[in-house]
Amino acid sequence: MKKRISLLIAISSAMFCNSLVAQKTPTYSWKNLPKIVQPTFAKDTFNVTKFGAKPDGITLNTQAINDAITACSKKGGGVVLVPNGMWLTGPIVLKSNVNLHIRKAATLLFTEDKSQYPLVEGSYEGKSAARNQSPISATNQENIAITGQGIIDGSGDVWRAVNKAQLTESEWNAKKASGGVLKANGLTWYPSEQFMKASVENRSMLLKDGVSLQSFADMKDFLRPNLLVITKCKKVLLEGVTFQNSPAWCLHPLMSENLTLRNLTIKNPEYAHNGDGMDIESCKNFLVDGCTIDVGDDAICIKSGKDEEGRKRGMPTENGIIRNCIVYNGHGGFVVGSEMSGGARNIFVYDCTFAGTDKGLRFKSVRGRGGIVENIYAKNIFMKDIAQEAIFFDMYYFVKFATDSPRDERPVVNEGTPIFRNMKFENIVCKGANKGIFVRGLSEMPIQNIQMSNIVLDTKIGAEFIDASNITLEKVTLISENTKPVISVNNSDGLTFNTIQYKANAELLFAIAGERSKAIQILQTDSSKAQKQIEFTEGATKEAITVSTGK
């Protein structure tokens, strides 16, 4: 009897605790944005010159700068000051309660000598991998910052391969003259024979049981580091500085919380392979504010691990604010995926400009990846000269890498099925893109519950929906050059088009295809301006759609 009473008490206690947790979990909205806790620092200043550092661009200051950081942290924290000058250095490790402050006329230049970067256990696209130590890193630290108005340069060109087609003739000739080797066809430059061999053989960098770091020594040049990696840290501030020329990803906060990235400039060459601006992976409570990004891959990217390893980690990237940012070159302005197996949720993006990116709002995944991406909100997004799509969802994103593990690619719902749902986009303008909206889900798991309102898209092609469910477009203007059709729907259901504006005399307003297309509504849309209102193909029927037009 006593055991039963004890068990009941334990169960009641657990239920009460779970109830409290549920009550404390906030419901985020535009009126209740996530709160980010910022670090604070003591006023004590530790000048790197006092530890022997010299700003001549020749002296290797690795030891002096790290000594200053260690001394500052041991004495309770404060500011480690990098004064004006050219400071050549190897890897720097940040420590708790230290603000590394780089003055405006200071450049922290990371050495091109790859021997200064030891092999370490790191991460590559969400999986454990051998990497060269990052130029700047921190693990399990709290209350850390990099501030100022100086420059952090990763000397990325000595690490990266590049194709001839990506450079001008004079740039290509200069690259060949700098050293390195060419691929047999003469169209790709590699930093070294070692790099080329690993690349051509498609060698994997993944760490597995029984495989030592030393076994990767013969491909060390190939294991490009990310410029900055912050792992399992709390209360992190990056403010004011310029991060440029990274060997791979530029900024990579991983499994960290309470991050603030404010007023940063992030630059990589357009040809920079994996030259992402920032990849926020499995992080909680973050703010990206007032950053300017011009890079060679995705600009602001949300990730949470890859495939089974990411699902086992089970750490979504959540509770984030991205605002007042400008993105120039990049594969996407704001991006989720494709390594999002741990999920992403409660992210608010607003007051941003994308000028010249490949895509604007970009969501990507593939069968076998898993993860739930939900509660993503974007408003006041302004785009110009977008090369491909302004708003893009695609569950067929797939580039085969040596680091990819086998995935179940059958069209069935299981733990590897990615789910993208419950999003709202409003007040978006795009002046120039190949396509306004592209949504392609999976036949077994459509993209679902997306609302788009007060949107103007001036593009070559209007909008396309494939395997989409419960999508609403309200007060959307599609000024497309190609008007046959303006809107294409294939095997989708529950779509509502309310108050759609389009170019007068359009050849075809709606093309409905697929026998699974159904429950489509057209409301308050003047179809009389189109030469033909609706066309049905590939098994779609008139019963799939209801029309209530108005002028």
Residues marked as catalytic: 297, 331
Give every CB contact of residue 116 below 8 A, 6+ residues apart in sequence.
60, 62, 90, 91
Pairing of strands 151-153, 265-267: unpaired
Burial degree of 352 (CB within 10 A; 0-12, 13-18, 19+):
buried
SS3 99: strand
Which long-range contacts does 533-540 make (Cβ < 8 Å, 24+ apart)?
A: 533/508, 533/509, 534/508, 534/509, 534/510, 535/485, 535/508, 535/510, 535/511, 536/512, 537/511, 537/512, 537/513, 538/490, 538/513, 538/514, 539/513, 539/514, 539/515, 540/512, 540/513, 540/514, 540/515
Pairing of strands 127-132, 119-124: antiparallel
Rounded Cα distance, 207 and 196, in Å: 21
Q: Which of 190, 250, 189 is nearest to 222 (CA)?
A: 190
Give every CB contact of residue 488 below 8 A, 6+ residues apart in sequence.
462, 463, 464, 465, 510, 511, 513
Decide if 383 contacts 68 (C-beta within 8 A): no
Cα of 541 vs its chain's centroid, Å: 40
Give the Å distances, CA to CA, from 280 to 5, 148, 335, 446.
Answer: 47, 22, 10, 26
Rounded Cα distance, 5 and 3, in Å: 5
Q: Which of 353, 236, 251, 362 is nearest to 292 (CA)?
A: 353
Decide if 68 contacts 51 (C-beta within 8 A): yes
Decide if 487 contacts 463 (C-beta within 8 A): yes
| Both structure tokens of 331 | 């594969």
Q: Which of 369, 446, 368 is nearest to 409 (CA)?
A: 368
Rounded Cα distance, 381 and 408, in Å: 36
Terminal CA-CA length for the chain: 75
Decide if 190 contacts 199 (C-beta within 8 A): yes
Burial degree of 415 (CB within 10 A; 0-12, 13-18, 19+):
exposed
| Both structure tokens of 165 | 């087609």
β-sheet bridge partners, residue 220:
none
Rounded Cα distance, 234 and 256, in Å: 6
